[in-house]
Chains A and B, each alone.
Chain A
Amino acid sequence: MKSSQWVWLPVAVISTSVHATTYFSVEQVQRALFPGATFSATSLPNAWRTSNGGYVIVDRVIGKHEYITLAVGINPNGTVKQIEIMQYQESYGYEVREASWRAQFVGKSASSPLQLNGDIINIGGATLSSRHVTEGVKRILQVYEQNLKGKR
């Protein structure tokens, strides 16, 4: 590995933004989960029936430090087709510490798409658990069983 792969910067923390990323709108996630299908409303405001008998259900789960909006695609036979995260938002803000080195840093990486997307996207650190999403998917499947399964 060449040392040029890792460029050291002098100091620390910085960003005003809450770390939030939107991956999909509802329409986009419907198309991603069931390409080519059409979607109709159901008795639930956050669930849609596809033209082939599947469902898309959108829900929000709250983790230890994060809010996540997710979409579950359910096959006509009731099995999970795919899970997509629509939005990820950390529940705390990142502290702002403007420092003189920051201007220098921005200049160095002005061509980076990162700068266009927002302040923080690439966060390392001890692994976040997605247990809450797993529980959220179970809840969504219960909603499906009780309210949508077998209905036309």
Chain B
Amino acid sequence: MRRARPLLGTYVEIDAAGLAGPALERAIEAAFGAVARVHRLMSFHDPESDLSRLNRRAVAEPVAVDRWTAKVLAKARTLFDETCGLFDCAVGAELMRCGRLPSHGLGNIASGTFAAVEFMSDDRIRFSAPIAIDLGGIAKGFAVDRAIAALRAHGVREALVNAGGDLRVMGKTAQTIHIRCPGLDGRAIQAGLLRNAAIATSEAAATVVKQRARSASSQCAHHAYSVVASTCLLADALTKVLVQTEDPSAGYFSKFGAIAFVTSADALEDRVA
């Protein structure tokens, strides 16, 4: 059974099998429910989300957040530390400045880093500087993981959840994965078979780079940066590191048990010529 809904600013598709119709429908409904919950908690656009409340108030006082939000922030902190700051969700100021995010009600935001996020307790967060965080580089992956967990809790053993390109497969069957590569006019490159793991892909144009870890090159606009990892949260987050380093062999990936690779339209033309 396959279903798709518009969530997280993209199309979320869930494909699950192995249960009778009504049970499968309930499982898929629960999985979409988990994605919708992540959407509500971590949307930058919704002024009532945990994320918006943090961005408005956490510099003044500790803000209590849902345990899912706290979990994503804790993971984001680990990734920030382990990638020497290359993975940094404190990009709200940059994204608002270039018009990619609305600046509703956020007047006094300054550039900063995720180091300003302080965990007062399990679910109380404070900012030590007037930063704005955006979880666009990690929440989608987390939502995919929660959807898979919801399906598993309902007894599903074979499933695929694809949030507009960030996807995770569960079960014994290996699934063929294609990568949509910028510069190929929508043609997809077959990348391989994936089993019980996640893959996420970013393009350079969709990633805000704060540290100039690489020289700007026009070539990178035609590349797709993919990471395969055990969870979609890790895969999603680490693509942002790959876009910046452009080095799939960098130690950041093996540290998290992940595999990184870059797909290039040019390389494809060479290979099929």
Interface SS, B side? strand
Instruction: Please tell me if the beta carbons of B196 and A125 are within 8 angstroms of each other in the complex.
Output: no
Any chain B CB within 8 A of the CB of A5? yes
The verdict on B104 contacting chain A, using a C-beta distance below 8 Å, is no
Stretch at the interface among A52-60, A111-119, A144-152: A111-119
Interface string of A3-37 (1 = CB under 8 A from B): 11111110111110001010100000000100000
Residue of A with least CB distance to B176:
A114
Q: Which of A7, A14, A85 is B11 in contact with, Cβ under 8 Å? A: A85
CA distance A55 to B203 in the complex (A): 40
Set B3, B164, B192, B206: member contacting A6, Cβ < 8 A: B192
- Please tell me if A79 contacts chain B, counting CB pairs below 8 Å: no
Note all chain A residues with C-beta closer than 8 A to B179: 123-125
A123:B165 contact, CB within 8 angstroms: yes
**Residues of B close to A32: CB separation below 8 A:** 25
Give chain B interface residues in 130-145, CB to chain A under 8 Å. Answer: 140
A sample of 5 inter-chain contacts (CB < 8 A) reads A5-B228, A6-B193, A112-B173, A122-B194, A124-B224
* Contact with B160, one of A83, A88, A122, A137 (Cβ below 8 angstroms): A122
Chain A residues engaging chain B, CB cutoff 8 angstroms: 1, 3-9, 11-15, 19, 21, 23, 32, 65, 68, 70, 83-85, 88, 90, 92, 94-95, 97, 99, 105, 108-109, 111-114, 120-131, 133-134, 137
Q: Is B74 an interface residue (CB 8 A)?
A: no
B202 touches which one: A90, A99, A126 (CB < 8 A)? A126
CB-CB under 8 A from A68, the residues of chain B are: 11
Task: List the B side residues contacting A8 at CB < 8 Å.
Answer: 192
B250 within 8 A of A: no
* Pair A123/B176 contact, Cβ less than 8 Å: no
**Within the complex, what minimum Cβ distance (angstroms) separates A59 from chain B?**
13
**Most chain-B Cβ atoms within 10 A of its Cβ — which of A23, A84, A97, A109?**
A23
